[in-house]
Chains A and B, each alone.
Chain A
Amino acid sequence: MATRPGFPDAAAAKLAQEIARLLGRPIGVEMVRGYAIAFANPDLPRDDVGAKLLHAVLADPVLHTSRVLRADDAVPVGRDGWRRIDVVRRPGVMDPAAMSVLRALAAVGLKPVSARTYRAIRVQDAHDAAELQRIGERCLANPLIEEVRVDPREAVVPFQDLAPAPFQRVEVALRGVDDVALQKISKDGMLALDLAEMRAIQAHFRSEGRDPTDVELETLAQTWSEHCKHKTLTSRVTITGDGAPRQYDNLLKETIFAATVQLDRDWCLSVFRDNAGVIAFDDEFAVTFKVETHNHPSALEPYGGAGTGIGGVIRDTLGTGLGAKPILSTDVFCVGPLAMQPDELPPGTLPPRRILQGVVAGVRDYGNRMGIPTCNGAVFVHPDYRTNPLVFAGNVGLIPRDKIAKGARKGDKAFVLGGRTGRDGIHGATFSSLSLDSSSSSVASGAVQIGNAIEEKKLLDAVLDARDRGWFTSVTDCGAGGLSSAIGEMGEELGADIELANVPLKYQGLTAGEIWISEAQERMVVAVNPAHADELRALCSIHGVEATELGTFTGSGRLRLTFDGQPVADMAMTFLHHGIPKHSRTATVTKVAESDVALPAGLDPNRLLLELLASPDITSKEEIVRQYDHEVLAGSVVKPMVGPGGFGPSDACVTAPRLGSRRGIAVGCGMSPTTGATDPHAMALLSVDEAVRNVICVGGRFDRLALLDNFAWPSVDDEATLGSIARCAEGCRDAALAYGTPFISGKDSLHNQTRTQSGVIRIPPTLLVSAIALLDDVTCAVTMDAKRADDLLLLVGETRREFGGSRLHQLLKLDGGRVPRVELQKAKALHESVARAIATRKVRAAHDLSEGGLAVAVAEMCLAGGLGAALHLGSVPRPSGLDDDLTLLFSESAPRYLLEVAWDDVDAVTRSLAGVPHAVVGSLTQAPVVTISGLTPRPLLQVDLAALTRSFRTGLDF
């Protein structure tokens, strides 16, 4: 299928640009879409009939020309001087469109056996095959999952199915071996179990008088993995190095979680227990919130990694309680500098620009197809993310309050719903990197998970439909560890008998162990009341979802797995879940000395402001946000971009999820990855504070505000790194307790580092804090765009000389400086006052001061609203003795807010702010220019609104 001459082909035009960028010269490109379809001989359509029907079904009759070829026909290239590149998926990689092709052909009466889709391009005037290969690998395909065929001779044909794997029961001789052998067994099996854990397993099976099977060992490895058990954050930690040593028996439980317990808010309905945190919304409904990371998959295959990241966190929502309805997604990306070229990176690393392209497209295609608005996010750029990008994906759900409690009952049937199981994600990348070079279909390239959003959408519809009918007693998603984790968790108290041969497969050839731990996407496990099993099957069939009974929750307390009736595992659930030895570790807190750094003389504030506005962390993310559907479900109240031009950067989003109700939620986030290396405790406070400011700015209630933590750290294998994560956890606790804002859910991702020939590249310690706050009436919401000329600008909060980790320091390539310190008690009073002022409806615009400080905040408000402003730094609240204009302009002290208030309301708002540092610092002007006069009353900064807008809208170059 190719586009008719004279008709538009936007995809080819865009690709031609990409290729021209790569080659440094323009080149002609045409795109071809290919469908390989196999028919059984008697069903093969006659040539003329077939060509007509296939054209009508698979082509756009208005736009496309098509040709039907038989498998042995020569591959057409087209005109003279043109050459061809085919891009075909490697065996085992998902091809979601193939099912639709079969469905469409069936609608016109054809009966194909199998189908496969592929892409090709025709290129004019390529130099040689090597150049074509380069084009293929850099602009078209990811070699991990796709094969590039230059000047192909043979037509693409559909896959042949593999033979079923012969059953083998494998026992691992563990009882009699020494420590060296134990470690070797763990390493060879990619079990990632340490010696203490291997010894515990050995002791257990000695007491059982037998050796474990491979499936049992694998199940233990999955259940005890860092990902599932959070061994580092839940270990026993002794902290030294900053005053009196202190010990936590369980770091996470006694810091972040303990704060939530201590706060004991009655609107926290389910915290740190289920797949997401749950807080009250109104009398009938609650909202759920969870944020996950998907870093390593996104480094390898950004598109698939980010897509399955969103897919996974949506299933967390769907697996919370008896199933929450996903209503809103968030995404935060951390990547290396976008200008970095492949030769500046270790071999095998995708350039940051390509990673960002991929993750944006992945979130867009998965999120948009799911019909869930992506409404909030951020992008951070730092060189130390260059080999290990971070991709955070969050999802908010809505659930009836009587559907929050869950629990499988004895006799319930275990069902798997949704997609089929393949080798996807088995042992992550390690496994499949062994197989990726092979073109043999006996090794499926399962390393990379490719999502199928439509499969997940069907699953979502079916699960919520069945939930409302009360047919199941528990539900959870198949995420890390696949069925082993899902069924292991659901049957923890009861035990379960599971027949693995019942699991529907994408292709034959999987062993029992592979079926059990596969991380194939788009699957949920439910515990079904046996009386409703048939109804559930029928309902799922209407939604086009496969529902398969795998076994029973027994009450035996044992996990018993069979394959075709033959036992492959029989273990006590208590050992599986509680047998892991407790880890004890020592952490050292290293104090980094901080001191002020002199700024170079002669800096031009105008230029600094313009450059800051265009810098990666601040510049407009419009290019990304507009690609996301942020309004589907019709709940949108405050959009990610606001103001008459639609490009003002909103602090947070507001959604009214129940159609017809004015009750809503605000969702925002805070992050300060440039401060963590200096002071992880300060970073935690800054991140919490920014998340809080963001949701308060749009009208969220401070007294109904909940937080989520996501720790992304390099490997925590030494005392200093453990010290940094421990201090960060203490910071989260301190902020939560001081503000009265409980954490309700969290997740950690460790080992974010890359070994290269020249050493290890470690990411900066990174904490993402997400905030969700209630609005009683969304028509009280406020946006950050400046509204009216002559209104006053009130600055709330104190400005200090705090440039540590600031954007100004980044811009000037300066290290050091003091990291902003949040004084929690004062900050709490400040947030309360601002929230109170906003609730009176007398604040016309509110914006938080974060990256780039006061100058950037006022510029953003002005450009968003199309107005100018005149400010005087003399009235800025600050400690006595601070007399430096650049500090007042660009320091990143927190918390601070900038509020727009009408003259008539300024007294009332000022009364709300009693006791909190605040001052009128200027006013808005009709004249489209931002003017700021310094401490000595002379013009310090004066920039046209048009120039500010242009700088801000530079955008990321990706």
Chain B
Amino acid sequence: MARPRALIVRSAGTNCDAETAYAFDSCGAQSTILPSQPFLERPQILADYQILAIPGGFSYGDDILAGKVFGLELATHAGEEIVRLVKRGGVVIGICNGFQILVQMGLLPGLAKPFGEPEVTLTDNDVHKYQDRWVRMQVVSDACVFLRKGETLFAPAAHGEGKLVPRDEAMRLRLHQTGRVVLRYVGPNGEENPPFPHCPNGATDAIAGLTDATGRILGLMPHPERHFFPWHHPTWTRDGLAELTDGRKLFERGVQAVTAAG
């Protein structure tokens, strides 16, 4: 079977595109990195792809709000094509700034309808500064094709605006009830709702990642592509080199999801 194709879209300020592309390529996909301008001019090309990835970085400097400007552009020019990709069995992943973009587009959590009023936001960390530190996440739902419930994901978080805040209490409850919450930060021994630094940003209910109604869109703040090689692990010099890293598992599942869908 042909290798599934992954489109990695980048804007001015995107900076995790190469390692995201590498991750997909080494898990069996074939990726293309495309600047935003040609993509926004011809979003139809998405028909040739099964995977869309929006990598981390600072799209347009994160001016105004993290992910806002690129989110507006993607929603305006490529929104329909992205929905179509998911409908025909494709997957979408937004990492860090990519997650912020998916949220600002209104694609995640997408409870009412895609591109509707924003339902949640990702704002300044409680410590009000950028933080690069490794965090442990628990997969709390089987809703998303990239993840398996019960597993943990250990990866670096590296962001200044990762605190997830729902619009109101009703929205918070619905996020859980509808299975949109797939990843939550946990303590070193799996403790729920851990304090800083285990939850690096103060997110509501320690939410680290969301999916949509189909489970084929994943947005998460931490960087699975930075826990891809075993030597990425912060204590590999003590504990040895792992056979299979948490990050690699996530990308492999994403590729499998589109391979199975056909």
Contact = CB atoms under 8 A, between A and B. Distances in A.
Contact of B132 (A101, A628, A656): A628
B231 A637 contact: yes
Interface in A634-669: 634, 636-639, 642-644, 646, 656, 659-660
A9 B124 CA distance: 8
Contacts of A104: 64, 68-69, 72
B241 A646 contact: no
Contacts of B13: 369, 453-454, 457-458
Interface stretch (B53-61, B137-145, B174-182, B252-260): B53-61
Contact of B231 (A369, A458, A779): A779
Interface in B61-103: 61, 63-65, 68-69, 72-73, 76
A842 to B, nearest CB: 14
A11 interface: yes
Contacts of B15: 369-372, 457, 632-633
B37 A627 contact: no
B150 interface: no
Given A7-B165, A660-B22, A63 B121 contact: yes
A185 B165 CA distance: 63
Interface string A531-555: 0000000000111100000000000
Interface in B14-66: 14-16, 18-19, 22, 26, 35, 37-38, 56-58, 60-61, 63-65
B169 to A, nearest CB: 11
Contacts of A639: 234
B241 to A, nearest CB: 6
Given A370-B15, A785-B238, A631 B132 contact: yes
Contact of B133 (A58, A544, A646): A646
A783 B56 CA distance: 28
Interface residues of B, number: 61
Interface stretch (B1-9, B209-217, B220-228): B220-228
B16 to A, nearest CB: 6
A253 B165 CA distance: 60
Interface in A774-792: 778-779, 781-783, 785, 787
A627 B238 contact: no
A8 B226 contact: no
Given A454-B13, A542-B37, A627-B130, A642 B63 contact: no
A32 to B, nearest CB: 14
B132 A781 contact: no
A96 interface: yes
Contact of B18 (A100, A630, A633): A633
B129 interface: yes
A100 B64 contact: yes
Contacts of A787: 237-238
A14 B128 contact: yes
Nearest to B15: A371
A454 B121 contact: no
B226 A626 contact: no
A409 interface: no
Given A631-B158, A631-B223, A454 B61 contact: yes
Residue of A107, A108, A782, A785 contacting most chain B CB atoms (<10 Å): A107
A659 B19 contact: yes
B123 interface: yes
A636 B202 contact: no
A107 B69 contact: yes
Contact of B72 (A60, A108, A454, A659): A108
B131 interface: yes
A767 B65 CA distance: 42
A939 interface: no
A61 interface: yes
Nearest to B235: A644
Contacts of A99: 63
A454 B12 contact: yes
Nearest to B10: A461
Nearest to A97: B63
Nearest to A625: B132
A100 B60 contact: yes
A399 B166 CA distance: 45
B96 to A, nearest CB: 10
Nearest to B21: A659
A626 B201 CA distance: 13
Given A108-B76, A371-B15, A458-B12, A634 B22 contact: yes
Contacts of B238: 643-644, 783, 785, 787, 865
Contact of A62 (B26, B61, B121, B158): B121
B184 interface: no
A117 B123 CA distance: 19
A642 B234 contact: yes
Given A457-B15, A631-B226, A634-B19, 6 more contacts: A8-B123, A541-B37, A626-B133, A637-B231, A660-B22, A781-B231
Nearest 5 CB-CB pairings of A with B: A371-B15, A100-B63, A634-B19, A97-B63, A10-B128
